[in-house]
Amino acid sequence: MARESTRNLVLAAFFVALGLLMPFFTAQVPALGARFLPMHLPVLLGGFILGGPLALVVGLITPLLRSFLFGMPPMFPTAVAMAFELAAYGLLTGVLYQRTRQVFLALILAMLGGRLVWGVVSLVLYGLTGSAFGWQVFTASAFINPLPGIIFQIVFIPVVVMALRRAGLLKND
């Protein structure tokens, strides 16, 4: 039990570190980060590997810590909204995968759920600042602009999860 807890904490720290470092690959062109979603990958994978509760923590911490350490994404409202979104990704992937054992289903539903959480939180946060946040902004920011990253996630994450599953490295598999 203690060995598994230590393993999970080390893996959680690893996923946070990946979430902090991966956006540097797109840092020269900030619009690429919004298109390829580099912080999302470690959190989504964390949900499958660590389970929902710990992946929720990874998702919550990663954008806030990255904003604090590197100034990107801006803390308010971007990093705060992302923290809720990524926390939902981590929790939903972990819980849905544990219940269904269906990688694609868990991934797609978690991605949709996280986007909805981001939309609701963004609506509230942008409303507090008096900025407009409507349906067009939501659909463009949640689905249209990040389409390359969404496609990559749908292809890459199941391949990794299935490889880990075959190797017997997934928790509860």
Per-residue pLDDT tens over the stretch 136-168: 999 999 999 999 999 999 999 999 999 999 998
Average pLDDT over residues 10-39: 88
pLDDT at position 2: 85
First to last CA, the chain: 16
Phi, psi of 115, deg, nearest 5:
-65, -40
In angstroms, rounded to a whole number, what is the distance separating the alpha carbons of residues 12 and 6?
Answer: 10
Which structure tokens are listed for 34? 């919004």
DSSP state string for 40-69: HHHHHHHHHHH-HHHHHHHHHHHHHHHHHH
What pLDDT is attached to residue 33? 75
What confidence tens digit (pLDDT) does each residue in 83-137 have?
999 999 999 999 999 999 999 999 999 999 999 999 999 999 999 988 888 999 9
Secondary structure (3-state) at 146: coil
CA dist 72 and 55 (Å) reads 21
Enumerate residues 6+ apart whose C-beta is below 8 A from 72. Answer: 23, 27, 30, 66
Copy the structure tokens of residue 103. Answer: 């990688």
Task: Compute CA 80 distance to the chain's CA centroid, rounded to the nearest angstrom.
Answer: 13
Q: Using CB atoms within 10 Å of the CB of residue 66, give its burial: 0 to 12 exposed, 13 to 18 middle, 19+ buried.
A: buried
Residue 120: partners with Cβ closer than 8 Å, 6 or more residues away: none
Query: What pTM, to 2 d.p., does this model score?
Result: 0.94
Q: How confident is the model at residue 69 (pLDDT cuts 50, 70, 90)?
A: very high
Q: Give the integer Cα–Cα distance in Å for 153 and 148.
A: 9
List the domains of the chain with CATH numbers.
2-166 (1.10.1760.20)
Mean pLDDT for the stretch of residues 36-53 = 96
